[in-house]
Amino acid sequence: MKDPCSVLLFLVCLVCFSAALDYKPDCMVSSNRQIPDETTLNNGGDSRWTWRHVLITAWFDQEEALHHPLLDITLKFEDFHIAVERTDIMINNGRTSAIAKVQGSPETSNITVKFNPLPTGWQDFTLSITSVFTVTSKTLQGNSKILQVPLTKTLEYIKIKGSNLTLQCQDSFPVWRVKDGATVTVPLNRNEPSHSFAVYAMEGSRPSFTIGDKTFRLGWSSDGRMTSVAVEDSLPPHVHHNFTITCHDPSPTVRCSITDDSSTDGSELDTIIIAERPNHLSVESDDENTFYLTLYNRLHPKEK
């Protein structure tokens, strides 16, 4: 018979682990994705497609569009003599073009498709697999098909690179994993004055946030409240610590207030003054513990 204490400990750990898994793995933000993932392929999993459509969400900033593509998609085919067919979607500031470069397939090589410019913000794309590989933009009017590439070989996997990618995360929110020694950059839309977040950790956490040239920290006060002034202890684990950053119109500087959404009175935690509305939030951990940051009010351009 199992030790009752061991069983109880297991159940407690299971509850905590389940709470952490409120974050769908597909909603964990990454700069690259593979479908199917490498674990499935390495373990001998069936690489044939069990789906026909997948939603990819990526962040797009027009100011950086000249330097970075929105999506970089690689198609890998089974038993293909050149091994890789590559589809690149390049989005430039002021103009938008989709470029498919398919090595070893003359009938689809150097496909170029131009479509309307996309605004700064979160962009949804649907990747469809039939006899053709189709990329559809959910932002453009009418769910525009922006790219179609004929598939003449059996597709083994797709690799996707982009900014703050999530996969099949339409019913949830993006989550960033923040660990000691690493700075995570969370994009902010300057057209939106408020952004709501939550910090969650399996152990106590001491998150640090930088907006513009100002930094604030969150912790726990002696009277059992979230604070950014007299931080005496780490934020308690297994709790979603909710807060909102609201940056008001410049006059001439920008005043950003940080409020505690976990409290009943929505008390103000801190106020910072910066030169302009921020386009990103830099996040770090001030101790060795990992925590997760959720952005709750992600808005897509078409939702505004």
Kindly list the domain boundaries of the chain, sorted by start residue.
25-167, 175-303
Write out the H or E segment, with its range, that includes residue 129: strand 121-129
CA-derived radius of gyration, the chain: 22
pLDDT for the residue 177: 96
Q: How confident is the model at residue 102 (pLDDT cuts 50, 70, 90)?
A: low
For the domain made up of 175-303, give the CATH fold.
Jelly Rolls (2.60.120)
Q: How confident is the model at residue 15 (pLDDT cuts 50, 70, 90)?
A: very low
Could you tell me the pTM of the whole model?
0.82
38-47, 76-85, 174-183, 184-193: segment of lowest average pLDDT: 38-47
Just give the CATH number of 25-167: 2.60.120.200
For the record, the structure tokens of 152 come out as 């003449």
CA dihedral 191, 194, 195, 197 (to 10 degrees): 180
Of 287 and 260, more confident: 260
pLDDT for the residue 251: 82
| Percent of the chain predicted with pLDDT > 90 | 37
Of 259 and 136, more confident: 259
pLDDT for the residue 132: 86
Of 99 and 230, more confident: 230
Are 226 and 198 within 8 A, CB to CB? no
